[in-house]
Amino acid sequence: MTSKRYAMVVDTRLCVACKACVLACKAENDVPEGYCRDWLVEEVRGRFPDLRAENRSERCNHCTNAPCVGVCPTGASHIAEGGVVLVTAAKCTGCKACMAACPYDARYVTPDGYVDKCTFCLHRVQRGEEPACVAVCPTHTLHFGDLDDRESGVSRLLTERDFKVNHPESGAEPNVFFLT
């Protein structure tokens, strides 16, 4: 079996912050009302008139060195196919250690009591489809693929373009990349 390392690439130069990704995720994953697994961050840096704006569609970074998985006492948080970090609700006690450990605050406690977050829509990916947020993005800001495949779209984008990750100092090795 060939190894896979799923990653998402977000082109901050194309994002218009329409939030279609947020709505698609809520619909696809039955995200409870008032919660979200992905969200938009609109950031403005500098002093007027020298301002730089950036829109970022953010979510769980499915870190290679995921702190949430290490601290989970029951194995509910685990690394699944392609390095995707998942939570098994039936193993989760709702102790919230993973939420304390997440450098990105990407997790939440559902009204049912267990912890949940973005799954990279692994159920869709296993059917050969893209994650819901990627599929609906009208500006082609979002890209999903396998970093271990050097010919994949995400690999090529990270070779050709400058990119960054959120809080690399966390040491978690996030797998959501932002093209700048």
Could you list the residues that contact another protein (CB under 8 A)?
Answer: 19, 22, 34-36, 39-47, 58, 67, 70-76, 89-97, 99-105, 107-109, 112-115, 167, 169-171
Please, which residue, 99 or 158, has the CB nearer to another protein? Answer: 99
- Closest distance between another protein and the C-beta of residue 126, in Å? 25
Tokens of 146: 């396998």
- Closest distance between another protein and the C-beta of residue 69, in Å? 8
CA-closest candidate to residue 135, choices 18, 21, 15: 21
Q: How many CB atoms lie within 10 A of CB 35?
A: 13
- Closest distance between another protein and the C-beta of residue 57, in Å? 9
Tokens of 44: 């403005």
Please, which residue, 32 or 153, has the CB nearer to another protein? Answer: 32
- Closest distance between another protein and the C-beta of residue 64, in Å? 15
Q: Provide the β-strand partners of residue 73.
A: none
**Cα angle value 54/56/57 (rounded, 5°):** 160
Please, which residue, 24 or 157, has the CB nearer to another protein? Answer: 24
For CA atoms 168, 173, 176, 180, the dihedral sign is positive
